[in-house]
A and B are shown apart, each in its own frame.
Chain A
C-alpha cells in the first residue's frame, strides 16, 4: 500500500525545472512515519485515495490501464482530472493524498530554501512524563 501511496504522491508533485519534486525529499521515511503515527481513519482514507488514484484512468483519460502504466503526459492529465472529479467521494479521498504529500514536500529543507525560508526545527514528539 505504501508503494501505491508513494506513486500517487510522486505523480501529484513531480520535479520541475524550478522546484524539487516530492520524490527528491525523504518520502520513504515520511510514509513510514505516517503509517506508524497516523490515526487509523486517516490512514484508511489515504489508502483509499491512493487506490482510487490508481484505478480510475478509465474514467479520466479513457485508458483502461492502472495509473502506473500511463505515460508521463497522460499521467499528468489523469492526476489533474481525478482531483477535480465530479464525484465528491473520489475528489475528497484523492485530496487527502495531496494534502499529505504537501506536508512532506513543504517541510523539506531544500524546498523551504527555494522560498527563502529557514529549515524547520525538529518535531521532538516529547511530553512531560
Chain B
C-alpha cells in the first residue's frame, strides 16, 4: 500500500494498477472502494493534497487557501458572475460540504428514462440498494438535539407554524457536536467525508493514492483508455513537480467533478458532440433574518434543517446555513461606518437559503489556460423560482419572529420590516442583482442512450471508447431538486460494481 504525495522535479513516477480513478470526491472515492473490495488493484489520482482533521484550517481564509478549488475564483460566465464552489483535496467536496444525505427521488429515474433513455426502475432499485449501504457505512443520522443550535430549531418552528413539510436533515455524520464548521472541514472528525473512510480503505486493500497530482491527459491506445499522465503540483507554492504516469490494465474512471471532467476529456482528445453540454445547477442564495435574541448561528449544526415542500412546484429547496463571521463580514451589504453598524447585529442573525431547482442549461468549456469556463445565465422562469424561494425564506423568518429581513438584493432596501416582505415578490429578475453561489452542479459528461446527445451510456461508459468510464456528478443529465452527493455516490458505486461483476452474474441479472 502506498500514498505518494508531491514529488519534486526529477525522475518520472510510474505506477500500474487495474483501474485508475481520477479524483477522490463523492464520485471517485466510492467507485474506487467498490473496485478495491472486489479485489482489483486501484490507483486514485487526486489533484489536491491529503489533509486530515489536524491539518484543517479554522478560518475562511484558510479554507479558501487549503481546500477550495482555485480560491473560489471559478465563476459563471454570463450575465452574472456567480462563484462556483468546489473542494480540491483528497475526499473532494465531501470535506467541505455539510454532509447532507438525501435519497434520489423516484421521479428522477423516470425523468432520466423518458428524456435520456437511461435510468428507469432497475436503476432506481440498484441506487436505493446502494444508498442503504452508504447510509450504514457513513453513519447517516440527524444532528443530536443538543447540537442543533438556535438557527435550525427556529427554522423548524417557523415551517411548522406555516404548516409545510420540513425536517431535520440526515447527514453522514457520527455524533455531531454542533461546532458549525462543516464548510472548513470537521476538525472534530465527526463528519464522514471520504478522506476519512473510503480513501484509506483503498490503501488498506493494497491500492495506491497519488495526491497533489492533477491529471493532464487520459492516455489511449486506439480507442482504449490505458492510463493517465500529469505533473505533481505543490499545494503550498503551486510549483510543478515530477511527471507521473499511471497505467491502467482494465480501465480509467474519471471523477474530477462537473467543472473538471469534461475539460479533462477534451484535453485528452475525446470526441463527443455532447462533451461539456447540459450543465445544470441549483443556484443558492441566503436571506438573513434579524432577531431580538442572539441566535449565535455558529453554534449548532452548519446545516441541520430543510424542507422539500416546494421541490416540485415552483421548484426550490429550503435549508438552514450557518456562515462564519469572516464570511458574513464580506457578505452583508454596505460599507464604512454603515457596514460596521450593521455588523453589530451579527449575533442576532439567522441565515436560511433557497437552492433553486433551475432548468437553465449551460455549458462547460476548456479555456486555453486549461481552466474550466462555465457559461451559464439563469433564464426568466428560473429567476421567478429563485425569487419566490427567497420570499418563502423571508416568510419563514417573519413566522419565527424576526424583527427584520435582509434580502441582499441590489436595488432593494437593505432591510425589510416584517410587513414589507411582499416587496420581495417584485424584486428585479436580473441575475446581476443577486449574489448567489453554485455548489450543486450537474452535467458536462451526461449519460444517455443517444451518443449524439450524451457522452456516456447508462453505465457511465464513454460512447465509442473502451475502458473509459465517468463516475461523478457530470454524468447526471438533469437537476435533482435535492442535495446531490447521495445520488453521486450511489451512481459511482453502481458503475464500479458493473465493471467488476462477473459475466455469469451479469447474464443471470
| Known A-B contacts A99-B330, A107-B326; A125 and B59 likewise in contact (beta carbons under 8 Å) | no
**CB proximity of B188 to chain A, nearest CB, Å:** 12
Do the beta carbons of A124 and B57 come within 8 Å of each other?
yes
| Known A-B contacts A18-B344, A103-B330, A107-B61; A115 and B325 likewise in contact (beta carbons under 8 Å) | yes
User: Interface digits, A24-64 against B, CB 8 Å rule (1 contact, 0 not)?
Assistant: 00000010011001110110010000000000000000000
A121 at the binding interface (Cβ < 8 Å): yes
A5 at the binding interface (Cβ < 8 Å): no
Do the beta carbons of B51 and A39 come within 8 Å of each other?
no
A89 CA to B457 CA, complexed, in Å: 41
Do the beta carbons of A127 and B50 come within 8 Å of each other?
yes
A63 CA to B303 CA, complexed, in Å: 46
Do the beta carbons of B71 and A107 come within 8 Å of each other?
no
B187 at the binding interface (Cβ < 8 Å): yes
**CB proximity of B260 to chain A, nearest CB, Å:** 15
B223 at the binding interface (Cβ < 8 Å): no
B341 at the binding interface (Cβ < 8 Å): yes
The A72-129 residues at the B interface (CB cut-off 8 A) are: 75-76, 79-80, 83-84, 88, 91-92, 95, 98-107, 111-112, 115-117, 120-129
Contacts of A100 in B (CB 8 A): 330
Contacts of B330 in A (CB 8 A): 95, 98-103, 106
Do the beta carbons of A106 and B325 come within 8 Å of each other?
yes
A11 CA to B337 CA, complexed, in Å: 9
Do the beta carbons of A105 and B329 come within 8 Å of each other?
yes
Contacts of A42 in B (CB 8 A): 70-73
**CB proximity of B180 to chain A, nearest CB, Å:** 10
Contacts of B146 in A (CB 8 A): none
User: Interface digits, B404-442 against A, CB 8 Å rule (1 contact, 0 not)?
Assistant: 000000100000000000000000000010010000000
Contacts of A107 in B (CB 8 A): 58-61, 325-326
Total chain B interface residues with beta-carbon distance under 8 A? 57
Do the beta carbons of A122 and B58 come within 8 Å of each other?
yes
A101 CA to B64 CA, complexed, in Å: 14
Do the beta carbons of A123 and B66 come within 8 Å of each other?
yes
Do the beta carbons of B339 and A13 come within 8 Å of each other?
yes
Do the beta carbons of A39 and B70 come within 8 Å of each other?
yes
Do the beta carbons of A83 and B335 come within 8 Å of each other?
yes
B220 at the binding interface (Cβ < 8 Å): no
Contacts of B336 in A (CB 8 A): 11-14, 75-76, 79-80
Contact of A123 among B49, B50, B62 (CB under 8 A): B62
A41 CA to B325 CA, complexed, in Å: 24
Do the beta carbons of B54 and A125 come within 8 Å of each other?
no
B328 at the binding interface (Cβ < 8 Å): yes
Contact of A106 among B327, B335, B347 (CB under 8 A): B327
B368 at the binding interface (Cβ < 8 Å): no
Q: Considering only CB atoms, which chain A residue lies closest to B89 in the complex?
A: A127
A19 at the binding interface (Cβ < 8 Å): yes
Q: Considering only CB atoms, which chain A residue lies closest to B187 in the complex?
A: A121
| Known A-B contacts A112-B325, A128-B51; A123 and B58 likewise in contact (beta carbons under 8 Å) | yes
**CB proximity of B60 to chain A, nearest CB, Å:** 5
Do the beta carbons of B54 and A124 come within 8 Å of each other?
yes
A100 CA to B57 CA, complexed, in Å: 17
Contacts of B54 in A (CB 8 A): 124, 126
Q: Considering only CB atoms, which chain A residue lies closest to B344 in the complex?
A: A18
Q: Considering only CB atoms, which chain B residue lies closest to A20 in the complex?
A: B340
The secondary structure that dominates the A interface is: helix
A23 at the binding interface (Cβ < 8 Å): no
Q: Considering only CB atoms, which chain B residue lies closest to A38 in the complex?
A: B71
| Known A-B contacts A11-B336, A39-B71; A106 and B49 likewise in contact (beta carbons under 8 Å) | no
Do the beta carbons of A127 and B55 come within 8 Å of each other?
yes
Contacts of A122 in B (CB 8 A): 58
| Known A-B contacts A19-B343, A19-B344, A107-B59; A128 and B211 likewise in contact (beta carbons under 8 Å) | yes
Contact of A124 among B55, B324, B327, B410 (CB under 8 A): B55
A98 CA to B89 CA, complexed, in Å: 27
| Known A-B contacts A19-B344, A83-B333, A102-B327; A128 and B73 likewise in contact (beta carbons under 8 Å) | no
**CB proximity of B200 to chain A, nearest CB, Å:** 11
Contacts of A37 in B (CB 8 A): 65
A1 CA to B296 CA, complexed, in Å: 37
Contacts of B60 in A (CB 8 A): 103, 106-107
Contacts of A106 in B (CB 8 A): 60, 324-330
Do the beta carbons of A83 and B326 come within 8 Å of each other?
no
Do the beta carbons of A120 and B340 come within 8 Å of each other?
no
B122 at the binding interface (Cβ < 8 Å): no
The B76-133 residues at the A interface (CB cut-off 8 A) are: 80-81, 89-90
Do the beta carbons of B335 and A91 come within 8 Å of each other?
no
A21 CA to B55 CA, complexed, in Å: 30
Contacts of A129 in B (CB 8 A): 5-6
Residue among A88, A104, A107, A123 with most chain B CB within 10 A: A123
**CB proximity of B300 to chain A, nearest CB, Å:** 13
A39 CA to B70 CA, complexed, in Å: 6
Q: Can you list 5 A-B contacts (CB < 8 A)?
A: A42-B70, A103-B326, A103-B327, A106-B324, A128-B90
5 smallest CB-CB distances across A and B, nearest first, come from A102-B330, A123-B62, A106-B326, A102-B329, A99-B330
Kindly list 11 other residue pairs between chains A and B, CB separation below 8 angstroms, not including A14-B340, A123-B58: A37-B65, A76-B335, A80-B335, A88-B80, A103-B326, A107-B61, A107-B325, A115-B347, A116-B296, A123-B57, A125-B57
Chain B residues proximal to chain A, CB less than 8 Å: 3, 5-6, 49-52, 54-55, 57-62, 64-66, 70-73, 80-81, 89-90, 187, 211-212, 235-236, 296, 298, 324-331, 333-341, 343-344, 346-347, 410, 432, 435
